[in-house]
């Protein structure tokens, strides 16, 4: 009888340690799942960032500057707007506004993710996850059932962000050594990247297709109109982006059924204190 009591007391005493160990193993499992899902995203980022590095090189950035810029601006369109604006000697205000407008969709994605957080999730984790929101990271995050586990996102970001930043640096280095004609040819890859972004959704949605075609025509017209053509390219982009997106949102808003988030799984509530 004494042996049984001692065994029970030992089990109760070790219970917190067992829970801590199991909790740590579970966190590690989720972290490695994030790294697994973030690897293909990071490899794709590396290829795109390499092309962006060519643009950064044309804007006069060093490999270290390109790495830092990419690390704090994990967005292909936003980074392209940043580098081209710098190359065009745009003002700080223009660069800030155009980057904000181009990356505005991340505000919407972050707002959607707030509905998937456990209410007990600390603000610091919400901040870091918001910092790392991209189209692809948002996709793999929102696809997981239940509440968002920050550890999963940290695993994905640990792989994706360094590859994104490293790709930009290597693109700048390659641009410094490659002949001018080769650099110009590699810059064409960016146009392919943007076509890959707009063509698939345009093929599925006639509204998006019309908006894209209108934006092409309006952008070209703005370079020819007497007064508007005097504005910088960045300012014209800001005006057209806000104007066209606002008109499309008013005329053809997204149905509410298409914006509903999946319900969280009550059995999956990862909270990090």
Q: Please write the tens of the pLDDT for every residue from 233-252.
A: 666 777 887 888 888 888 88
Global model pTM greater than 0.95: no
Q: Quick check: 89 pLDDT over 60? A: yes
Of the pLDDT bands very low, low, confident and very high (cuts 50, 70, 90), residue 156 is: very high
Segment 111-116 mean pLDDT: 84
Q: Quick check: 266 pLDDT over 50? A: no
Q: Quick check: 187 pLDDT over 50? A: yes
Of the pLDDT bands very low, low, confident and very high (cuts 50, 70, 90), residue 25 is: very low
Q: Quick check: 19 pLDDT over 90? A: no
Of the pLDDT bands very low, low, confident and very high (cuts 50, 70, 90), residue 232 is: low
Q: What pLDDT, on the 0 to 100 scale, is given for residue 239?
A: 81
Q: Quick check: 149 pLDDT over 80? A: yes
Q: Quick check: 22 pLDDT over 50? A: no
Q: What pLDDT, on the 0 to 100 scale, is given for residue 184?
A: 62
Measure the CA–CA gap between 148 and 140, rounded to whole angstroms. Answer: 11
Q: What pLDDT, on the 0 to 100 scale, is given for residue 68?
A: 93
Of the pLDDT bands very low, low, confident and very high (cuts 50, 70, 90), residue 159 is: very high
Q: Quick check: 33 pLDDT over 50? A: yes
Segment 187-205 mean pLDDT: 70
């Amino acid at each position: 009888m004494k042996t049984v009591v001692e065994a029970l007391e030992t089990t109760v005493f070790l219970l917190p340690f067992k829970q801590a160990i199991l909790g740590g193993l579970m966190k590690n499992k989720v972290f490695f799942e994030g790294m697994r899902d973030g690897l293909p995203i990071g490899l794709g980022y590396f290829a795109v960032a390499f092309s962006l590095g060519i643009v950064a090189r044309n804007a006069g950035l060093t490999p270290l500057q390109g790495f830092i810029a990419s690390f704090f601006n994990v967005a292909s369109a936003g980074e392209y707007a940043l580098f081209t604006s710098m190359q065009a000697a745009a003002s700080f205000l223009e660069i800030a506004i155009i980057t904000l407008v181009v990356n505005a969709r991340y505000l919407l994605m972050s707002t959607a993710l707030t509905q998937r957080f456990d209410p007990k999730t600390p603000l610091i984790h919400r901040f870091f996850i918001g910092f790392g929101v991209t189209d692809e990271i948002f996709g793999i995050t929102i696809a997981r059932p239940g509440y968002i586990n920050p550890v999963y996102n940290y695993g994905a970001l640990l792989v994706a962000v360094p590859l994104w930043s490293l790709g930009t640096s290597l693109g700048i280095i390659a641009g410094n050594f490659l002949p001018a004609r080769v650099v110009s040819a590699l810059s064409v890859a960016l146009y392919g990247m943007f076509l890959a972004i707009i063509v698939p959704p345009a093929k599925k949605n006639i509204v998006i297709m019309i908006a894209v075609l209108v934006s092409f025509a309006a952008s070209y017209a703005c370079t020819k109109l007497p007064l508007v053509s005097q504005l910088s390219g960045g300012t014209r982009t800001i005006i057209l982006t806000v104007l066209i997106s606002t008109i499309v949102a008013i005329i053809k808003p997204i149905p509410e059924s298409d914006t509903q988030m999946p319900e969280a799984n009550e059995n999956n509530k990862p909270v990090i204190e």
